[in-house]
Structure 1
Amino acid sequence: MKPSPKEEKAPRYRFAVIVWLAIYPAVTLAQWLLGPVMSDWPVPLKTLVISVIEIPYAVFFAIPLLQKWFEGWLKHGSWEDS
C-alpha cells in the first residue's frame, strides 16, 4: 500500500541539507560572537556552551522554519508547495 501524500517523508539527504542549513550559520555566528570570550576556555567547555545554545535553537526554531520554507522540495523535489 502506497502512503498518502501527507504520510510521505522527505528523503534523508534532503532533511540532512535542512539540518546543515540550520546548524552551520548558527554555529559560525556563535563562534564569532563568543570566540573572544571563550578563547582561553577548554574545548569541552566551549562545545558545551555552544551546544546548549545551538540545539534548542535548531530543534525548536530553525529546523521547523526551514522545513516549512522548503516543504515542496523536501517532499516532492520541487520548489512549489504542492
Structure 2
Amino acid sequence: MQTRSALQRPSMTESKGQTYITLEQVREACIALLTQGRRVGPVNVRLQLGNRGSYATITRHLRTLGFAAPSPRGSKKEGVTQADGSRQLPR
C-alpha cells in the first residue's frame, strides 16, 4: 500500500479515503438514464452510480447540467418552485 507524503495534495475527487462524485460521472449517468427511457432525478442518478454520492452533490451537479430547477433559496417569493416551473405555496 502506498502512503501519501504530507506535501502531496489529494486529487479533486479524493479526500481522506473517500471518493466524490464528479460532474462528468453525473453527466454519464444522466445519458444512461435517458437512453433507458428513465426519469433523470437525484434518486435515479444515485442508483445509476451504484448508490454512491450524496443527494446534495448529485442535485448540485444536476442543476449545473440543467436537469434540475434552480434552488429556491434566496428567492424573494414565497413557496417552492416545482420541476415543471409551477409554484407550490407553503402550508
Both structures adopt the same fold (TM-score exceeding 0.5): no
The alignment's TM-score, normalised by the length of structure 2, stands at 0.29
For CA contacts below 8 A with separation 6 or more, give which structure has more relative contact order. Answer: 1
In terms of fraction of residues, the more helix-rich structure is: 1
In terms of fraction of residues, the more strand-rich structure is: 2
The alignment's TM-score, normalised by the length of structure 1, stands at 0.31
